């Protein structure tokens, strides 16, 4: 989905410049979100081509990340900081047990109860469980698929 400039500066049309090019749509989306989170208005061009025809997109130069000319320097700084890892969140030093189970992040592949957040879950048995997995929480008793 191509975003179009929606702003007009007082007395002049916005002038867009290419900040970066991407072959992967997800990388372009991350960069766009990062810039927008820093208050820099940015737009993607030709991302529809990359999502539908990746080979043609590579031949056409990939996805272009556009910013206003006046924001170019700040946008480059933000992307450079992200590339260097300078925008990482500091480690959390709180007590992990102070987070309610429902709000704790599940490990990869771990199933948690949608009602209470417990990891004490048993999987249904039988032939149908191979095709439609069913789960039962051993803490609150909730059944779900």
**Domains of the chain, CATH where assigned:** 16-84 (3.30.70), 100-144 (no CATH)
pLDDT tens for the chain, 145 residues long, are 445 445 555 556 678 999 999 988 889 999 999 999 899 999 999 888 888 888 887 888 889 999 999 999 999 999 998 888 777 666 656 665 555 555 555 566 677 787 777 777 887 766 665 666 688 887 777 887 7
Single pTM value for the model: 0.55
Residue 78's pLDDT is 92
Q: Report the distance separating Cα 145 and Cα 139, nearest Å.
A: 17
CB 119 within 8 A of CB 112: yes
Least Cα distance to 23 among 55, 1, 70 occurs for: 55
Q: Report the distance separating Cα 8 and Cα 10, nearest Å.
A: 6
Residue 119's pLDDT is 75
């Amino acid at each position: 989905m191509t975003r179009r400039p929606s702003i007009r500066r007082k007395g002049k049309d916005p002038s867009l410049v290419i900040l970066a090019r991407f072959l992967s749509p997800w990388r372009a989306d991350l960069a766009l979100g990062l810039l927008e989170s820093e208050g820099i208005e940015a737009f993607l061009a030709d991302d529809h081509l990359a999502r539908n025809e990746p080979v043609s997109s590579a031949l056409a130069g990939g996805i272009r990340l556009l910013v206003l000319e006046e924001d170019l320097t700040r946008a480059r700084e933000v992307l450079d900081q992200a590339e260097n890892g300078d925008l990482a969140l500091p480690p959390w030093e709180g007590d992990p047990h102070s987070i309610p189970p429902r709000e704790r992040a599940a490990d990869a592949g771990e199933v948690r109860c949608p009602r209470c957040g417990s990891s004490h879950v048993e999987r249904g048995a039988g032939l149908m469980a191979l095709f439609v997995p069913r789960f039962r929480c051993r803490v609150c008793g909730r059944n779900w698929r």
